[in-house]
Amino acid sequence: MVSFLLVVILVVAVLVLIGFVMGYNKIRSADVRVAEALSGIDVELTRRASLIPSLVHTVQTFAAHEKGILDHVTDARAALTSATASASVADRSAAEAQLDTALAPLLALGQSYPQLNSSDNFLDLQRNLADTEDKLAFARQYYNDAVATLNRQLTTIPWMFVAPLTGVDQKEYYQTPR
């Protein structure tokens, strides 16, 4: 009888250990996926920021007296570049909103300057920006999906019992700049 009881205890202990290892790996994998998704956003933000100097130069060629708009865009680009080095998702989102606000009047200059709007370089840059915006929207969605998965795992049974031991905390969602 004692040996049967020891076997049962050993089987239960092994099952608990297997459950712990599976939970630990599942939560850590979800955390890695969140970090990967955030770096995908950073890639697109960096790509977007790298298009800005060319866009500013092209507009400057046609509308040099619009210095205030050009300076505002340059400052917003610098803020975005430094925000991607930050660990905060909120900083990235705020810097992205600032760049969106700065880009709107710059892109509207195409309406005021027909020769700018007919420039192949300007049109190509607009297409690249639009493509980057689409990729950025997808990267944001992928990140938020990864965060939802991680946060759900951290707060549901049975993984919530393993979560404190993994050192992984809930992550914040990426807010779309408005």
pLDDT tens figures, 71-129 = 888 888 888 888 888 778 888 888 888 888 888 888 787 777 777 777 788 888 888 88
C-alpha distance across the termini of the chain, in Å: 69
Q: C-alpha dihedral over 153, 155, 161, 164, to 10 degrees?
A: 90
Cβ-based neighbours of 140, under 8 Å, separated by 6 or more? 41, 174, 176
* Residue 10, pLDDT score: 93
57 belongs to a structural domain: yes
* Residue 38, pLDDT score: 93
Q: Identify whether the C-beta of residue 72 lies closer than 8 Å to the C-beta of residue 107.
A: no
Counting residues of the chain whose pLDDT is more than 70, the rounded percentage is 98
9 belongs to a structural domain: no
27 belongs to a structural domain: yes
49 belongs to a structural domain: yes
Query: For the residues 36-50, what does the mean pLDDT come to?
Result: 91
* Residue 65, pLDDT score: 67
What amino acid is encoded at 95 in this protein? Answer: A
86 belongs to a structural domain: yes
Domain containing residue 112: 23-165
- Count of domains in the chain? 1
33 belongs to a structural domain: yes
Average pLDDT over the chain reads 87
Question: Is a pLDDT exceeding 70 seen at residue 177?
Answer: no
How many residues would you count in the chain?
178
Instruction: Transcribe 39-93 into DSSP letters.
Output: HHHHHHHHHHHHHHHHHHHHHHHH-TT-HHHHHHHHHHHHHHHHHHTSS-HHHHH
Question: Is a pLDDT exceeding 70 seen at residue 178?
Answer: no
Residue with tokens 């900083």: 91
Q: Identify whether the C-beta of residue 77 lies closer than 8 Å to the C-beta of residue 99.
A: yes
Q: Identify whether the C-beta of residue 51 lies closer than 8 Å to the C-beta of residue 125.
A: yes
Domain of 139, CATH number, reads: 1.20.1440.20
Query: For the residues 49-63, what does the mean pLDDT come to?
Result: 82
173 belongs to a structural domain: no
